[in-house]
Amino acid sequence: MKQSQLFTKTSKTISKGEVSLNAKLLLQAGFIDKEMAGAYSFLPLGLIVMEKITRIIQEEMNAIGGQKLSLTALQSPEVWQKTERWNDEVIDVWFKTKLKNGAELGLATTHEEPLTNLMKKFISSYKDLPAYVYQFQTKFRNETRAKSGILRTREFIMKDLYSFNRTQEELDAFYNKCTDAYRNIFKRTGIGDQTFFTFASGGSFCKFSHEFQTICEAGEDIIYIDRQKNIAINKEVYSDEVLKELEIDKNKLEKAKSIEVGNIFKLGTKYSKALHLSYLDQEGKSNSVVMGSYGTAPARIMGTIVELCNDDKGIIWPKEVAPFFIHLLNISNTDKASQLAKEYYEKLTSAGFDVLLDDRESVRPGEKFADSDLIGCPYRLVLSDKTISQEAIEVKRRDEDKIEIVKLKDLIKRMKQ
């Protein structure tokens, strides 16, 4: 991508109503645009990051046997009424509307019911199980508060995976696999060191669940961490009973604010019984399918990364999710510099690097540097009159102050290192 062709621009100011750091930085850097409270558009830079996070999640879901599909956001009340979750007192974030003929519809907040109903067409025998299906789908939630940037929105894409098993033991084994997959996701996106497997409430799904909570001052949750056991407890279920069950010493716990970046549930037969999803075992006996549900949202991960990975100049993207690995700046006005910038942009791209070339001619060097720091690519490469005279280029990591001068002939080799 050449920056002169990028239609989005960085900004020095943002709306006074924006209070969250993730939204401020992403808006200033031109990654997102605010449509209204709780609804953001993803611009080219932001969409690249979202797609990279999505790709990581998809790779981890495929690795544990997940098959991708896509369900509708429009929901008929009928299937939800069978589990009593059409009731606003049970799920209080429904967006509901009506067709022209007066029939009521909802915009999906989650998909346990419709997918369970769908699987009745494909599961009838023990030979049809297990089945693991997932989607990246737009969800709608009528949140009372939507002031945390892209951490809590009213419209967002969620990855929701659902498991269908024959027995509780089979579910337990897959649940552990999914737990490891989620750990891999957060490690690969750069927040693994601050993210903890957390004992939590099951909400409208089940009695208890597990969350993945990332330590962050911008978080809305409070957790208690046992770093020795590498586990945490959400404040909502913190009690002596839970401490005893987990064999945790309350004196060793560390209290912290956190962001929920993932949530997994053992649903058991709650939905399969209500919606009559069953299978015949080897003896011909009918059994209810045992289910699990596993959710995470790419945009919430993205917002969490920004909250954690920044300085007073802007964003510092981890390399696997950065919009570009290299930001190549030309700060010389000579024809030779322009030719070299184009030449090494093409060489780096051909070598497999994602490169953003700042080829803007009417922008001063200081502004280019400020934009580069704000956008936050892992490496900044600078061509100047001084470096060109040395047949070299300036190389700087975004998270370090140290500047390295590298000969142009060695640049590809150095960047591969």
For 182-215, the pLDDT digits (tens) are: 999 999 999 999 999 999 987 655 567 899 999 9
CATH of 326-416, one of 1.10.3720.10, 3.40.50.800, 3.40.50.2300, 3.40.350.10: 3.40.50.800
Segments making up each domain of the chain, as ranges: 3-311, 326-416
Global pTM reads 0.95
**pLDDT at res. 84:** 94
**pLDDT at res. 203:** 65
**pLDDT at res. 94:** 96
Whole-angstrom distance, CA of residue 213 vs CA of residue 233: 10
- Spatial contact of 385 and 341, defined as CB atoms under 8 Å apart: no
First vs last Cα of the chain: how many Å apart?
Answer: 23
Whole-angstrom distance, CA of residue 85 vs CA of residue 266: 18
Cis peptide bond N-terminal to 130, omega within 30: yes
Residue 187: strand, helix, or coil: helix
Spans in the chain with pLDDT lower than 70: 203-207
Whole-angstrom distance, CA of residue 310 vs CA of residue 373: 10
Q: What is the β-pairing status of strands 310-311 and 314-315?
A: antiparallel
- At 64-123, the pLDDT tens digits run 999 999 999 999 999 999 999 999 999 999 999 999 999 999 999 999 999 999 999 999
**Residue 127 parent element (H or E):** none
Residue 415: strand, helix, or coil: helix
> Does domain 3-311 bear CATH number 3.30.930.10?
yes
- Spatial contact of 98 and 105, defined as CB atoms under 8 Å apart: yes
